[in-house]
Amino acid sequence: MVTASPASASSPAVTPDPLDARLSGVLGGRTATAFEKAFGIRTVGDLLAHAPRRYAERGALTALDELAVGESVTIVAEVVDVRERTMRQRRGSILEARIGDGNGILTLTFFNQGWRAKDLVAGARGIFAGKVSDYRGARQLAHPDYELFDADDPRATADADGEQAMRWSRQPIPIYPATSTLSSWQIAKAVGVVLDTLPELEDPVPSSVRARLGLLGHRRALELLHRPERTADWKAAQDALRYREAFVLQTALVRRRLAARATASTPRVAAPAGVLERFDRHLPFTLTDDQTAVGVEIAADLAEHHPMHRLVQGEVGSGKTLVAIRAMLTVAESGGQSALIAPTEVLAAQHLRSIVRFLGPDLAAELRPVIVTGSQSSRERQRALLAAASGGSRLVVGTHALLGDRVDFAELGLVVVDEQHRFGVEQREALRTKGRTPPHVLVLTATPIPRTVAMTVFGDLDVSTIQGLPSGRAGVETHTVALADHPGWEHRIWTRMAEELASGRQAFVVCPAIEDGSVEEGEEAGDDAVQADAGATGPTRRPPATVVGTAERIRAMPELRDRRIAVLHGRMPAEDKDATMTAFAAGDVDVLVATTVIEVGVDVPNASMMAVLDADRFGVSQLHQLRGRIGRGGHPGVCLLVTSAEDGTPARERVDAVAGSDDGFELARVDLELRREGDVLGERQSGGRSSLTLLRVVRDADVIVDARGEAERLLTADPTLERHAVLRAALDRRLDETDAAFLGKN
**Helix, strand, coil percentages in the chain from 3-state DSSP, rounded to 5:** 40, 20, 40
Q: Do residues 302 and 450 share a domain?
A: yes
For 500-516, b where at least 16 C-beta lie within 10 A, e where not — what string? bbeeebbbbbbbbbbee
Residue 363 has pLDDT above 80, yes or no: yes
- Report pTM: 0.65
Q: How many domains does the chain have?
A: 3
Q: Do residues 367 and 418 share a domain?
A: yes
Q: Do residues 508 and 603 share a domain?
A: yes
Residue 686 has pLDDT above 50, yes or no: no
Check residue 467 and give its pLDDT: 79
CATH classification at residue 63: 2.40.50.140
Query: What percentage of the chain has pLDDT greater than the value 90?
Result: 40
Tens-digit pLDDT profile for residues 496-547: 999 999 999 999 999 999 987 555 543 433 333 333 333 333 334 578 999 9
Helix ranges (H only) for 474-569 are 490-502, 525-535, 547-555
Q: Choose the weakest-confidence range: 71-75, 414-418, 585-589.
A: 71-75
Check residue 104 and give its pLDDT: 84
Tally the residues of the chain. Answer: 746
Specify if 236 maps to a domain.
no
CATH classification at residue 484: 3.40.50.300
Specify if 260 maps to a domain.
no
Q: Which residue, 595, 617, 625, is CA-closest to 543?
A: 617
Tens-digit pLDDT profile for residues 109-146: 998 888 888 889 988 888 787 888 888 878 898 888 78
Specify if 109 maps to a domain.
yes
Specify if 745 maps to a domain.
no
Helix axes 664-675, 620-627, angle to 10 degrees: 150
Q: Do residues 167 and 299 share a domain?
A: no
Specify if 699 maps to a domain.
no
Spatial neighbors of 98 by CB under 8 A, at least 6 apart, are: 79, 80, 81, 82, 105, 106, 107, 108
Q: Do residues 332 and 462 share a domain?
A: yes
Q: Do residues 294 and 426 share a domain?
A: yes
Check residue 4 and give its pLDDT: 39
Domain boundary among 414, 448, 466: 466
Spatial neighbors of 420 by CB under 8 A, at least 6 apart, are: 311, 428, 443, 444, 445
Distance separating alpha carbons of residues 19 and 15, to the nearest angstrom: 12
Helix axes 184-197, 218-226, angle to 10 degrees: 150
Residue 97 has pLDDT above 90, yes or no: yes
Q: Do residues 441 and 570 share a domain?
A: no
Distance separating alpha carbons of residues 564 and 591, to the nearest angstrom: 6
Q: Do residues 142 and 63 share a domain?
A: yes
Domain boundary among 442, 466, 490: 466
Tens-digit pLDDT profile for residues 161-193: 556 555 655 678 787 887 767 877 788 889 999
Specify if 393 maps to a domain.
yes
Q: Which residue, 719, 695, 726, is CA-closest to 209?
A: 726
- What one-letter code names the amino acid at 463? V
Residue 94, burial from CB neighbour count under 10 angstroms (0-12, 13-18, 19+)? middle
Specify if 455 maps to a domain.
yes
Residue 605: which domain range? 476-661
Q: Do residues 563 and 459 share a domain?
A: no
Q: Do residues 440 and 525 share a domain?
A: no
Q: Do residues 304 and 446 share a domain?
A: yes
Domain boundary among 629, 661, 693: 661
Q: Do residues 382 and 402 share a domain?
A: yes
Specify if 418 maps to a domain.
yes
